[in-house]
Amino acid sequence: MAETVLVFGASGNIGVSAVIGALQAKRKVIAVVRNQTSAEKIFDYVETRDGISIAEADITSEDSVRGIVDQVRAGKLPPFQHVFASPGGLYWETSLIDLEISALHEIMKINFETYLYAYRATVP
């Protein structure tokens, strides 16, 4: 039976590469996306739907990320043996001296917290 890779940030450039790599390695994929438009982007790049399960979630919400694992436990998604996280990131052009604290918090939420949520939800 083929192993499955849970991919956070699956519709980004690195995420799509992870999906392609997993499929080439004869693994199945659970692609975590924010919406169906993102899922279609993956299918367009990969040129197949075979071996890919789609799970919609807001990866900036810990509850939403845990919901993916809950769906696996409930049998709605296949069990996974591997996790790949590449949720993308926010970039800014403002110098650090001029960066507002609220903007820094948003950057950290997207660029760091999403990895923590994925880790907490998937590590037993």
**Max Cα separation, the chain?**
53
Q: What are phi and psi of 34, to 5 degrees?
A: -85, -25
Q: What is the pLDDT of residue 1?
A: 83
Find out whether 43 and 24 touch, Cβ atoms under 8 Å. no
Q: What is the pLDDT of residue 79?
A: 97
Q: What is the pLDDT of residue 75?
A: 97
| DSSP string over 54-117 | EEE--TT-HHHHHHHHHHHHTTSS---SEEEE--------S-TTT--HHHHHHHHIIIIIHHHH
Record the pTM: 0.89
Task: Identify any residues that bridge with 8 across adjacent strands, giving them in sequence order.
Answer: 32, 85
Question: Residue 110: exposed, middle, or buried by beta-carbon count in 10 A (0-12, 13-18, 19+)?
Answer: middle
Q: What is the pLDDT of residue 111?
A: 87
Q: What is the pLDDT of residue 5?
A: 98
Find out whether 110 and 87 touch, Cβ atoms under 8 Å. yes
Domains in the chain: boundaries: 4-122
Please report, in tens digits, the pLDDT of each residue of the chain (124 residues total).
899 999 999 999 999 999 999 999 999 999 999 999 999 999 999 999 999 999 999 999 999 999 999 999 999 999 999 999 998 777 888 898 999 999 999 888 888 999 999 999 999 7
Domain 4-122: give its CATH architecture. 3-Layer(aba) Sandwich (3.40)
Q: What is the pLDDT of residue 87?
A: 83
